[in-house]
Chains A and B, each alone.
Chain A
Amino acid sequence: MTHIRMNNVCVDFPIYNTTGRSLKNQLMQAATGGRMGSNEQGRVVVRALQSISLEFKEGDRVGVVGRNGAGKSTLLRVISGVYEPIEGFLEVQGKITSMIDLSLGMDGEATGVENIYLRGALLGFHRQWLSSKISDIVDFAGLGDFIRMPLRTYSTGMQMRLAFSIATLVQPEILLMDEWLTVGDADFKEKAQQRLHEIVQKSSILIIATHSPELVKTICNRTVRLDRGAVIAM
Chain B
Amino acid sequence: MRIFKSGWQDIFAAFKRYELAGVLGWQDIRQRYRRSSLGPFWITISMGVLIGALGLVFGNLFDTPMKEFLPFLTVGLILWTLITTILTEGCTGFTVAEAIIKQISLPLFTHILRVIWRNLIIFGHNIVIYPLVLLVFWLPLRPSAALSVVGLVLLMINLSWIALLLGVLCTRYRDIPQIVSNLLQVCFYLTPIIWMPHLLPKRASLLLLDANPFFHLIEIVRAPLMGTLPSAVNWLVCILLALVGWGVTILFYGRFRSRIAYWL
A101 close to chain B: CB less than 8 A = yes
List residues of B whose CB falls within 8 A of some A CB. 17, 19-20, 23-24, 27, 30-31, 34-35, 99-106, 258, 261-263
Q: Is the interface of B mostly helix, strand, loop or mixed?
A: helix
> Does B104 lie within 8 Å of A80, measured CB to CB?
yes
> Does A104 lie within 8 Å of B263, measured CB to CB?
no
> Does B103 lie within 8 Å of A118, measured CB to CB?
no
A-B pairs with beta carbons under 8 Å apart, 25 shown: A12-B262, A13-B262, A14-B262, A80-B104, A80-B105, A81-B105, A82-B101, A82-B103, A82-B104, A82-B261, A83-B261, A83-B262, A84-B258, A100-B103, A101-B103, A104-B99, A105-B99, A109-B35, A110-B31, A117-B23, A118-B27, A121-B23, A122-B106, A126-B19, A127-B23
Interface size on A, residues (CB 8 A): 26
Which residues on the A side are within 8 Å of B31 (C-beta)? 107, 109-110
Which residues on the A side are within 8 Å of B105 (C-beta)? 80-82, 96
Assuming A84-B261, A118-B23, what are 9 further A-B pairs, CB within 8 angstroms?
A77-B102, A83-B262, A100-B103, A104-B104, A105-B99, A109-B30, A110-B31, A121-B20, A121-B23
Which residues on the A side are within 8 Å of B103 (C-beta)? 82, 98, 100-101, 104
Within 8 A of B (CB), among A144-192: none
C-alpha gap A126/B16 in the complex (Å): 12
Which residues on the A side are within 8 Å of B261 (C-beta)? 82-84
Task: Select from chain B the residue with minimum beta-carbon distance to A115.
Answer: B27
A20 close to chain B: CB less than 8 A = no
Inter-chain residue pair count (beta carbon < 8 A)? 58
A213 close to chain B: CB less than 8 A = no
C-alpha gap A105/B104 in the complex (Å): 11
Task: Select from chain A the residue with minimum beta-carbon distance to B35.
Answer: A109
> Does B262 lie within 8 Å of A98, measured CB to CB?
no
Within 8 A of B (CB), among A73-105: 77, 80-84, 96, 98, 100-101, 104-105
Which residues on the B side are within 8 Å of A81 (C-beta)? 105
List residues of A whose CB falls within 8 A of some B CB. 12-14, 77, 80-84, 96, 98, 100-101, 104-105, 107, 109-110, 114, 117-118, 121-122, 124, 126-127
The answer, among A14, A83, A104, A110, for a CB contact under 8 Å with B100, is: A104
C-alpha gap A96/B101 in the complex (Å): 15
Which residues on the B side are within 8 Å of A122 (C-beta)? 20, 100, 104, 106
Which residues on the A side are within 8 Å of B35 (C-beta)? 109
C-alpha gap A98/B20 in the complex (Å): 17
Which residues on the B side are within 8 Å of A114 (C-beta)? 27, 30
B134 to chain A, nearest CB (A): 36
B111 to chain A, nearest CB (A): 12
Which residues on the B side are within 8 Å of A110 (C-beta)? 27, 30-31
- Given known A14-B262, A107-B31, contact A124–B100 (CB-CB < 8 A): no
Task: Select from chain B the residue with minimum beta-carbon distance to A86.
Answer: B262
Which residues on the A side are within 8 Å of B23 (C-beta)? 117-118, 121, 127
C-alpha gap A96/B103 in the complex (Å): 12
C-alpha gap A84/B257 in the complex (Å): 10
Which residues on the A side are within 8 Å of B20 (C-beta)? 121-122, 124
C-alpha gap A117/B101 in the complex (Å): 19
The answer, among B24, B34, B262, B263, for a CB contact under 8 Å with A121, is: B24
Which residues on the B side are within 8 Å of A107 (C-beta)? 27, 31
Question: Which one of A109, A121, A126 has the greatest number of beta carbons of chain B within 10 Å?
Answer: A121
Which residues on the B side are within 8 Å of A12 (C-beta)? 262
C-alpha gap A228/B47 in the complex (Å): 56
C-alpha gap A122/B111 in the complex (Å): 12
The answer, among B19, B100, B101, for a CB contact under 8 Å with A127, is: B19
